[in-house]
Amino acid sequence: MAKLNFGGTLENVVTRDEFPLAKAQEVLKNEVVAILGYGVQGPGQALNLRDNGINVIIGQRKESKTWDKAVADGWVPGETLFELEEAAERGTILQYLLSDAGQISQWNNIKKHLKPGNALYFSHGFGITYKDQTGIVPPADVDVILVAPKGSGTSLRRLFVAGKGLNSSYAIHQDATGNAYDRVVALGIGVGSGYLFETNFKKEVYSDLTGERGSLMGAIQGLFAAQYDLLRKRGHSPSEAFNETVEEATQSLYPLVAENGMDWMYANCSTTAQRGALDWWKKFRDAVAPVFEELYDSVEAGNEAKLSIDSNGQADYRVKLEAELKELRESEMWRAGKTVRSLRPENAKVAEEV
């Protein structure tokens, strides 16, 4: 473990320099890692672990699309692919990667297969933090650990294949064996983390729910929609409004931020753009700060967890979800986006010379 200075604050981080893959393989050499759930995080983590030489099996509901996806990814029924409970029985480390709703509904079925000395692994602090609502309370004789990649399972896999890594947080909620630290860090390295930073289950879920509702998804969609609608109302075409709102941001500017930071992106834009951005960013910060305060308070109070659990538990949840996603998909802004994406050089059809 190393201590790095982040803006004057020292944080515990782990990199491959002090915990190389060979060490992770040694720690996990006698473990059977059972990936329970093959939906969002499951495939990326499972495939990366397998490619890194870790003994992995999959637990998934049979007769499902995700079962078929697991087979297509090379997992063999009866050898490395099993029903959830059989995989849980076979595993020594159970990576509980079902959706939050799935974790709640399957908990009693999984809990009975946990043996003393096993590890129960999460990639989200939801189930443990909101245990009064989820009912997920692990037995005292198992390690309870977390590795939370800061991105989708798809991104985790793509970066791994490209020889890169996705940063992850790690946490230890319960160290029953005395080996929880080595286990969690080995798994973090094994799933393809760039580096690992320390947190706890509560901070992970609070920051995660805030981020998803805020700058990662909810707030950014709201910001895009507000600017796009304004430009259209003021007479700009759909193509112009989308390009100035979304396309330039995602294709040109955000990659520069990712490369070297916001100041570097500013420095690589026109002086007019720099001046305007510097003049206006604090106004936007001050405008949305009260909304973020309200959002964090709602997360901390458990209201967001309750809303999620209640909605996911409704029989018509999928129907309602599709209706909401359809509203996004069929909005003018994202229909314009579909057309704009089709015209990118890598997607456009090149006319044959005649």
Query: E strand or H helix at 55, and its extent?
Result: none
> Which contacts of 327-330 are long-range, i.e. CB under 8 A and separated by 24 or more positions?
328/221
- Bridge partner residues of 93 (DSSP): 33, 119
- Those residues whose C-beta lies under 8 Å from the C-beta of residue 234, and which sit 6 or more positions away, are none
- Those residues whose C-beta lies under 8 Å from the C-beta of residue 19, and which sit 6 or more positions away, are 185, 186, 189
Sheet holding 143-149, edge to edge: 2-6, 9-14, 193-198, 166-174, 143-149, 119-122, 93-96, 33-36, 56-59, 81-82
Interior/surface letters 172-199, b for 16+ CB within 10 angstroms, e for the rest: bbbebeeebbbbbbbbbbbbbbbbbbeb
Pairing of strands 9-14, 193-198: antiparallel
Sign of CA dihedral 171, 174, 178, 183: negative
Q: Is 117 left (phi over 0), alpha (psi -120 to 50) or beta?
A: left
In the set 113, 124, 173, 236, the catalytic residue is 124
- Helix (H/G/I), strand (E/B), else coil: 120: strand
124 is catalytic: yes
Distance CA 19, CA 185 (A): 8
Residues tagged active-site: 124
